[in-house]
Amino acid sequence: MQAIVLVGGEGTRLRPLTYGTPKPMVPIVNVPFLARTLERLYAAEIRDVILAAGYMPQAIVDYFGDGSQLDMKVTYVIEETPLGTAGAIKNVEEHITGPFFVLNGDILTSLDLRAMRQYHHEKGGIGTLHLIRVDDPSPFGCVVHDEAGRVSRFVEKPPKGEEPTNEINAGTYLLEREILDYIPPNKNVSIERETFPQVIAAGKALYAHTTGDYWLDLGRPEQYLAAHRDVLNGTMPLAVEPGLSGDGSEALRGHPGVIAPVHAAADVVVDASAKVGPNVVLGRGCSIGTNAVVRESVLWERVSVGAGAFIEEAILASGVTVGPKAHVSKGSVIGHDVSVEPGAVLEPGARLGSAPP
């Protein structure tokens, strides 16, 4: 079985993080998110993966190579200009040999892919869509279906108040090759706005596979932090130990200022007077100075936090320096290698960091 992972988006809602790192390589508890996705595919016995990429593909290629280190086959198809979610699938047609999974590259979920495959075989449609129920469906694709699961409407991002259902497209499809006949080649096509509605209009059967799984789209900073909280507290099952975890956690054991859950990579230094946690991830080589406080935050690699600094509900990319006594307020997102001046007080939701020249 094959899987296509759509990883061509620019990750605009995660800027400035995605100026230096493409969205699929943004780390979830210190491991690139796409690596977590490939682990999930591997666990479902899917070894043949096609990455439809476009934005900053080199970072992805450098990390995964041909996939042999993961015992997988990874094929890259790079778009010169974005082809959209269906155009990207059509663009890899020559590599597709049979029924195939399609995964939006920014979804963290506990979905059982094998159970979905089973359901798809039983239903026998041209495609099966994973759905979940949400309180606010407006930012997503709404999918209307009958009791047998047969889809009658697909409405992408309806205006608030006009959502036909609270069951939404959760971004995992299992499709038959035949669906490729509905996508014109070499042009930008949206599977949500064009292909699915056209397939339904043509009388072809799409089925809904609604589950109660853990599910989150990582596309925005609040969700990125929520995902970390959920992984650290075990709500989202991922290979992370509860409490204190990570290669750098031994050095923190017994530290009076560390409040679990905290995940620390190797070579992390936390001053004896600092307070770290709960729900903090420290990437490799981070250092936390005297009396500094870091809570509910994700720090990538080599982040240096000066004496007396305060950081809450923030995301700090690799190489960030926070000067002594600086205050990084809730919702702040700080891009690669930015220095926060000593004593600076950031506005809540601050974005620091600019596009590379």
77 Cβ contact partners less than 8 Å away, ≥ 6 residues apart: 50, 51, 52, 53, 88, 91, 92, 95
Q: How many CB atoms lie within 10 A of CB 289?
A: 18
Whose structure tokens read 């997503």?
A: 140
Binding Mg ion (rule: CB under 5 A), the pick from 48, 79, 167, 217 is 217
Q: What are the DSSP calls for 4-22, one per residue?
A: EEEE----GGGTTHHHHS-
CA distance 65 to 72: 10
CB 252 within 8 A of CB 235: no
With CB under 5 A as the contact rule, which of the stretches 209-217, 253-261, 283-291, 313-321 interacts with Mg ion?
209-217
Instruction: Tell me: does residue 192 bind Mg ion (CB under 5 A).
Output: no
Residue 102 CB, nearest distance to Mg ion (Å)?
A: 13
Looking at 6-14, 56-64, 120-128, 248-256, which segment touches ligand GDD (CB under 6 A)?
6-14
- Site for ligand GDD (CB under 6 A): which residue of 25, 28, 151, 168? 168
In a 10 Å sphere around its CB, with 0-12 CB exposed, 13-18 middle and 19+ buried, how is residue 75 labelled?
middle
Question: How many Å apart are CA 27 and CA 206, to the nearest integer?
Answer: 34
Catalytic status, residue 275: no
Residue 6 as a binder of ligand GDD (CB under 6 A): the answer is yes
**Catalytic member of 123, 157, 325, 330:** 157
List the single partner that 48 binds among ligand GDD, Mg ion, none, CB under 5 to 8 Å by kind. Answer: none
Q: Give the nearer residue to ligand GDD in terms of CB position, either 179 or 340.
A: 179
Q: Which does 192 bind (CB under 5 to 8 A by kind): Mg ion, ligand GDD, none?
A: ligand GDD
From the list 197, 162, 167, 160, the residue with the least C-alpha distance to 182 is: 197
Which of 79, 163, 167, 313 is close enough to bind ligand GDD by CB under 6 A?
79
* Burial grade of 330 (CB within 10 A; 0-12, 13-18, 19 or more): middle
In the complex, which residues of this chain contact ligand GDD (CB under 6 A)? Answer: 6-9, 23, 52, 54, 79, 82-85, 88, 104-107, 140-141, 156, 168-169, 171, 192, 217, 219
Active site amino acids: 157
Interface residues with Mg ion (CB under 5 A)? 106, 217, 219
